[in-house]
A and B are shown apart, each in its own frame.
Chain A
Amino acid sequence: MKSRAFGIALISIAFVACGGAYAQQQVIGAPPEASNMKLVGYNDLQARSAYQPTIHHQGDRYIAYIGHHGGTDEIPDPVNPLTGKAEPNGTSIVDVTDPAHPKYLHHIPGQEGKYEGGGAQMVRVCDGKSLPKGDPNAVYLLRAVGSQGHEIWNVADPANPVLVTKIGENLKDTHKNFWECDTGIAYLVSGAPDWRTRRMTQIYDLSDPAHPQKIRDFGLPGQEPGSTGAVPTELHGMISTGPQGNRVYFGYGTDKGGIMQIVDRDKLLNGPKEPTAQNLRYPEISEMAMSAFNGAHTTFPMKDMPIAEFANDKDGKTRDIVMLVDEAILNECGEPRQMVWFADVTTETRPMMISSWTVPEASGHFCERGGRFGSHSSNESMAPVYYKKMAFIAFFNAGVRALDIRDPYHPKEVGYFIPSITAATDKRCVPVDGAQRCKVAIQTNNVETDDRGYIYIVDRANTGMHILELTGAARKAAGLP
């Protein structure tokens, strides 16, 4: 009897050690994994690796603009079926007015180069009529082009974009820009050749997109030209609350040594501009250093959030919250967990982390599935449908996760969707004893929402774009009918 019990225990250990994980690997043809979210529509995005989707309500249409990484070793320049030509990955333009039947309209080629060495990852869109000096008939698309510069296109006719102008050249890198559509102020993640970091901020006045006006360069002291000593963590991106909020929240560090920097926007734009350490420090209100294990990919501000638990307190009933999302960069859990953090920044000079959230790894044996597991980014739309209520987190091989954030001290998952892989889904490899061991898994990279409540997720491993909606308890939590 004892030996039988011992045998059962050994079998259990063996199952946990090697059995359960492989049962979770995705296979072509298997249905998506979902809870309180369902698929509405799909487009394959010409099997291009996707970064940022931006959904723009354009007249009576909804248009999705999707930035792409460069191509792969196997297919550096996928063929665009609309032109019949091989085109380096750039920007996909998809009409999603009917989300059940998205229609691919146009592909703007990007910079030659593979993976992060090419493409046109970032995209923001502003209407000409909202920009102070824009052509009221134009719709402007701002995109980062590969590592070398930025471009503005007129996409008033999204099937026939027209190049307006180019900004910057010979940069070391580009990345996650932000553009204020009511003022035209743009914060461009760039790598100015003379700065000591790959990524810093170049601020432009793009109120007249055809005539960009440089305002200043910005970064952390120690990154500026001519400085010496340790170089602070490079920039990842920023979000501005515009002239009304008068704050810009910068996120530095991708997966390590993150810093959230809170900056006075007015001082940033109108203060002394020479890139000295003193001038770079002038507009800063505070910096919050994160663990060396985590970076700040997305810094999403949510001011004046009522906290139910504090409703009867005489002070501090509402809190200013910033949601910080790290980016996982290594396959198969090769680094500390990258996840979601909530900081209470009500007292701006003393921001404090108040909660965190991650997908439980054991819920899907995600470290064994292949590719990256961990967070990457959140939706950035501030449309009332979800703002301060629900957040959507792209979690690579764990798909997209819907969080109820009405109490940011206790964020709670209410839904998820992990798309099926397809024949186009690219492999992800890790070195094992000198050889590459590869697996195929979904890699949900970025997510955005529109003002109707649809959720758009795009895949880094070439699987395309899935358009989703909430169902059940998640839909109820969001207050949707």
Chain B
Amino acid sequence: MRGLLIACGVMLCTLSGVAAVQHVRSGPSTAGSNWHEIAWPFPRDGWPAGRAFRCDASACGGEVELYVRPKIGFCNCDTGVADDDEVDRVADLDLMSRRFVPRETGKVIRISDMAGRARSYDLKMTDGSDHTAVGFALSHRCDLMVAVAQGEGTAEGVRRAAVEFLDTSDMTHWMSSALNGG
């Protein structure tokens, strides 16, 4: 009996320890960067909510918001992010507006060990205003990490600010952990 109670205690401690680790890993640190985390601003959809960040105009040349999340099992395991149509489909632009038009052919992009494409868009918001957005789709085996950045500045400025932030060690660590069951 005593042995079983000890075993139960160990198990419960282990479970609580796992929960604590998961809590620590729940989001990247933004300390020391120009970005700060904000609440995920979108209603629940088919994928769990991701992480949202804001960079103030003083640091990013215009306010920029970035929304990033994994989409597990949503990528072609063999071809990865094959073309711009895939960026249109998966990059969460429709969370902001279903009406968007690409500004250009997308670019190949690599962040950490993930390869994919980035493409800029003009968004027509429901209030009639126009926004600039950049969608990112990065593959990791059969999974995707998607991000979309929107801002007031130029598309190139929004893209550069978002890429610099996504490529920080805190963010790459978090993205890797999110895609690898951490």
Contact A434 B182 (CB under 8 A): yes
B:145-182 near A, CB below 8 Å: 176-177, 179-182
Contact partners of A172 in chain B: CB under 8 A: 82
Contact A293 B46 (CB under 8 A): yes
Nearest-neighbour CB distance to chain B for A301, whole angstroms, equals 25
Contact B179 A431 (CB under 8 A): yes
Contact A228 B78 (CB under 8 A): no
Quick check: is A10 within 8 A (CB to CB) of the other chain? yes
Quick check: is B88 within 8 A (CB to CB) of the other chain? yes
- Complex Cα gap A231–B86 (Å): 9
Quick check: is A114 within 8 A (CB to CB) of the other chain? yes
Assuming the A-B contacts A7-B4, A329-B73, are A196 and B85 also in contact, with contact meaning beta carbons closer than 8 angstroms in the complex? yes
| A interface SS class | loop
Tell me which of A12-20, A127-135, A270-278 binds B. Answer: A12-20
Assuming the A-B contacts A113-B78, A115-B77, A329-B73, are A230 and B180 also in contact, with contact meaning beta carbons closer than 8 angstroms in the complex? no
Quick check: is A116 within 8 A (CB to CB) of the other chain? yes
Tell me which of B30-38, B51-59, B91-99 binds A. Answer: B91-99
Residue of A nearest to B143 (CB): A431
Contact partners of B89 in chain A: CB under 8 A: 196-197, 231, 234
Nearest-neighbour CB distance to chain A for B178, whole angstroms, equals 10
Contact B11 A18 (CB under 8 A): yes
Chain A residues within 8 Å of chain B by Cβ, number: 35
B:83-121 near A, CB below 8 Å: 85, 88-89, 93-94, 98-102
Residue of A nearest to B88 (CB): A231
- Complex Cα gap A416–B153 (Å): 60
Quick check: is A334 within 8 A (CB to CB) of the other chain? yes
- Select which of B77, B93, B98, B181 is within 8 A of A431 by beta carbon: B181
Assuming the A-B contacts A14-B11, A430-B181, are A230 and B85 also in contact, with contact meaning beta carbons closer than 8 angstroms in the complex? no
Quick check: is A480 within 8 A (CB to CB) of the other chain? no
Most buried by B among A7, A14, A330: A14
- Complex Cα gap A231–B177 (Å): 29
A:80-118 near B, CB below 8 Å: 113-117
Contact B98 A229 (CB under 8 A): yes
Contact partners of A430 in chain B: CB under 8 A: 181
Contact partners of B12 in chain A: CB under 8 A: 10, 13-14
Chain A residues close to B by CB (< 8 Å)? 7, 10-11, 13-14, 17-18, 113-117, 172, 195-198, 228-231, 234, 256-257, 292-293, 329-330, 334-335, 430-434
Query: Can you show 15 pairs from A to B with CB atoms below 8 A apart?
Result: A7-B4, A11-B8, A13-B12, A117-B76, A197-B89, A228-B99, A228-B102, A230-B99, A256-B46, A257-B45, A257-B46, A334-B72, A430-B181, A431-B180, A434-B181
